[in-house]
Amino acid sequence: EPEVTQTPSHQVTQMGQEVILRCVPISNHLYFYWYRQILGQKVEFLVSFYNNEISEKSEIFDDQFSVERPDGSNFTLKIRSTKLEDSAMYFCASSEGTAYFGPGTRLLVL
């Protein structure tokens, strides 16, 4: 059964550094998402992507964040200048109606 994959599984970075989180969505899906989950809290929507452009974004997704689909398979989330409060689990998901989640990248900003 196809699955969403994400790399890396863990990322530790210094405050102010740029990070890129990578995802490979399920191949026939058309909608892609990034969510984040601060430890012990709810799953928060960041952004959705369809037809090679952002279709919706939350107030969390400010100018420090960007997404890209650089080729036919990868979907990336870039955080330009990380802050302490960016520490969280970041989940990618893809959908053809039902959203399936990747295993997540645990980001720790020191």
Residues contributing to the site for other proteins (CB under 8 A): 31, 33, 35, 41-45, 48, 50, 55-56, 91, 93, 95, 97-104
- Which is nearer to other proteins, 14 or 39 (by Cβ)? 39
Beta carbon of residue 50, minimum distance to other proteins (angstroms, whole number):
7
Alpha-carbon torsion 42, 94, 33, 88, what sign? positive
Beta carbon of residue 89, minimum distance to other proteins (angstroms, whole number):
9
Type of residue at 25: P
Q: How many CB atoms lie within 10 A of CB 73?
A: 11
Residue with tokens 């960007």: 66
- Which is nearer to other proteins, 45 or 65 (by Cβ)? 45
- Which is nearer to other proteins, 42 or 70 (by Cβ)? 42
Beta carbon of residue 5, minimum distance to other proteins (angstroms, whole number):
11
Residue 92 near residue 4 (C-beta atoms within 8 A): yes
Beta carbon of residue 36, minimum distance to other proteins (angstroms, whole number):
11
Which DSSP letter does residue 28 get? T
Q: Which of 23, 10, 40 is nearest to 106 (CA)?
A: 10
- Which is nearer to other proteins, 19 or 23 (by Cβ)? 23
Structure tokens at 23: 């995802």
